[in-house]
Amino acid sequence: MTATRKEAIQMLERIPEDKLGFVIQIMQGINGLLETPETKMKNTINLEQFVMPATERGQHADDYVRELRDNDRI
């Protein structure tokens, strides 16, 4: 382990727990600056895989909730 890495770890150990979130955000920002465009392309996630196809029942869900609200059942 290099002296710089050891010093960084010692500094992290002295940071209070409630401040670690800020440090993590800063480190993630720095990591984002260091990534190459090719690396960013590999880390992208296709969000379309999480979208469920619409069903007939789902298409009428808003009407059903509105009807419940109008009848004071919610």
Domain count, the chain: 1
Question: What's the pLDDT at 36?
Answer: 60
Whole-number Å distance between alpha carbons of 67 and 72: 9
Q: Pull the structure tokens for residue 32.
A: 């984002």
What value does the mean pLDDT take over residues 3-28?
88
Question: What's the pLDDT at 73?
Answer: 61
pLDDT digits (tens, 9 = 90+) for 22-74: 888 888 888 777 666 655 556 677 787 787 777 776 777 788 888 888 887 65
Range of the structural domain that residue 51 is part of: 3-70
User: Does the reported pTM lie above 0.85?
Assistant: no
Residue with token string 């940071």 = 15
pLDDT digits (tens, 9 = 90+) for 20-33: 888 888 888 887 77
